[in-house]
A and B are shown apart, each in its own frame.
Chain A
């Protein structure tokens, strides 16, 4: 059979290329543009070379924010992944409970991010918030505006409340795809509850778990809206994550050059970490696949 070569096909790709160019490539190039120049307004630019990058990479402020961000992502993954698996394992597999649970689980995911922030901001307030007042009346000294630890706890609990559902839903999808025969065979083999989890459920959930880890890592590493609404990065700089710091620098201080340099560094970090995650995950998969036929 002769293959027909038809360059008209390129026209069909064109709209997407244009869209991506306008939404991603061109703005990114603008940022690159800012990161190597200095401006004082009036559309006057002065070549700055790698000065801004030097400044950013040698500033404690950047490394502190990065450290906080990594720590935050680590805690989020350490809580949400096991918790999500645990909830998914305990969700009903059939009956009226299934739709009820699914809807309940989906609810936090449907709420706009700044609304989530506002909910928790009000919820935790010591003067009028349900949580804040309750804790205060129990004699617990809780104030997320004043105490860095309380602020951290609030932001983490809020994120867990907001995003654990995503992990639950992904894991649940993996679990329901396991044929009954596996559980029956495990029963016949006398497997314990733990062995069923370890050798049947976990391997079957592995693929969706990889996606869950990747998504939760990227999202938590880029978190901005919710902590910005609740704590505004405070008290002090204790909950100032990279994205919040970036906005402070760009919009608050109008330091466009350093902010642009920071954006690029930030972008590269996310790209790098996501790539590392992805490669580690898929290679562990491919390795087993390779052993399959080798």
Chain B
């Protein structure tokens, strides 16, 4: 197991990148702590898989260095880096038995057969496939196949890190929970450094200690699920995480306050804003109170999502969403008020931090 340091990694698939737009990865500087569970979250095409493949050595970055425990491995092959990776679609060796699939990475590394047998049997128990060991791997279900892929990584007990590239995409929803909790248990047991790529926020938030949110080739925020929820550093994080996402409304600066349409809101953060910046106010639907006082809104739609309701409304011509309890009554002339703790101010899409 190792800590992984990304030192100013940039990558372009195009051999002669000119502008930032040519880069699939713009600049990534980050350290993954030994034994951490990280989720790499972002929409399709944001560079998640590129970053993962750079860590595993399947791709060579255009610029920058990768360090494992402080040792430069940028020039090393995938094999030499000693990484395990689980792919989106289960990769298994069809013609081999389940047992041979698990033994394959060990046999390739010339591990003595007695040791291979011991480790494969142990792994078969861990991934609950002991009864299937003599079966050809091709007939298994998708989740069993994915377990084999995982097992092939874990069976080499000296791997530096295990990388997951959206491994649960093809798994049935109910099996996802099972596999995810199994994976969490394994992580606790073995303590490997784990990087988990996904575009599913639930998966990322339930799974990882730290979530790394990527957008357009850069990391926009690294934080615990709570941090991502309460203080999204970028409007994209606000919008991408949460269901429904954060309400983002354009505002104007006026002294130490901001103007939302005609309404004046006092914000501490407003003091540190450059007046030339494009300003937006962000508030999560969970922080909006619906009642008789506050800003007048026109309710357009109410969606019942079980124990809570999503209220879609218009505020000063802007669509907003609010999440309220199931039994909340929706008044005819509705007003909303904002919980000050949930207000975030964004200048050019980046969160304005309050000055200490």
Contacts and interface: CB of A to CB of B under 8 A. Distances in A.
Interface of A: 179, 181-182, 184-185, 187-192, 195, 199-200, 203, 288-289, 291-293
A188 B109 contact: no
B136 A184 contact: no
B89 A181 contact: yes
A22 to B, nearest CB: 45
Interface of B: 53, 56, 58, 77-79, 83-85, 87-89, 91, 93-96, 104-105, 108-109, 135-136, 138-139, 149, 152-153
B87 A181 contact: yes
Given A190-B105, A190-B109, A191-B108, 12 more contacts: A184-B78, A184-B87, A185-B87, A185-B152, A188-B56, A188-B105, A189-B104, A189-B105, A192-B108, A203-B95, A292-B136, A292-B138
Give 7 closest A-B pairs by Cβ, nearest first: A292-B139, A190-B108, A185-B91, A189-B105, A181-B87, A199-B93, A187-B78
Contacts of A179: 89
5 contacts: A184-B56, A185-B149, A188-B84, A190-B105, A291-B139
B58 A184 contact: yes
Contacts of B83: 188
Contacts of B88: 181
B91 A182 contact: yes
A18 to B, nearest CB: 44
Contacts of A191: 104, 108
Nearest to B109: A190
B67 to A, nearest CB: 19
Contacts of B108: 189-192, 195
Contacts of A292: 136, 138-139
Nearest to B139: A292
A189 B152 contact: yes
Q: Which of A182, A184, A188, A195 has the most CB of B within 10 A?
A: A188
Contacts of A195: 104, 108
Given A185-B149, A187-B79, A189-B104, A199 B95 contact: yes
A181 B138 contact: no
B4 to A, nearest CB: 16
Nearest to A191: B108
A75 to B, nearest CB: 28
A291 B96 CA distance: 13
A203 B105 CA distance: 18
A188 B78 contact: yes
Nearest to B81: A188
A292 B84 CA distance: 27
A141 to B, nearest CB: 48
Nearest to B152: A189
Contacts of A188: 56, 78-79, 83-85, 105, 153
Contacts of A189: 104-105, 108, 152
Contacts of B91: 181-182, 184-185
A289 B93 CA distance: 15
A46 to B, nearest CB: 59
Contacts of B53: 184
B73 to A, nearest CB: 14
A164 to B, nearest CB: 26
Nearest to B110: A190
A182 B93 CA distance: 9
A279 B96 CA distance: 23
Contacts of A203: 93-95
Contacts of A184: 53, 56, 58, 78, 85, 87, 91
A198 to B, nearest CB: 8
Contact of A187 (B58, B94, B152): B58
Contacts of B78: 184, 187-188
A173 to B, nearest CB: 18
Nearest to B140: A292
A156 B242 CA distance: 69
B59 to A, nearest CB: 10
B159 to A, nearest CB: 9
Contacts of A190: 79, 105, 108-109
Given A184-B58, A187-B78, A188-B78, A200 B93 contact: yes
B288 to A, nearest CB: 44
Contacts of B105: 188-190
A51 B203 CA distance: 80
A182 B104 CA distance: 14
A66 B247 CA distance: 82
A190 B105 CA distance: 6
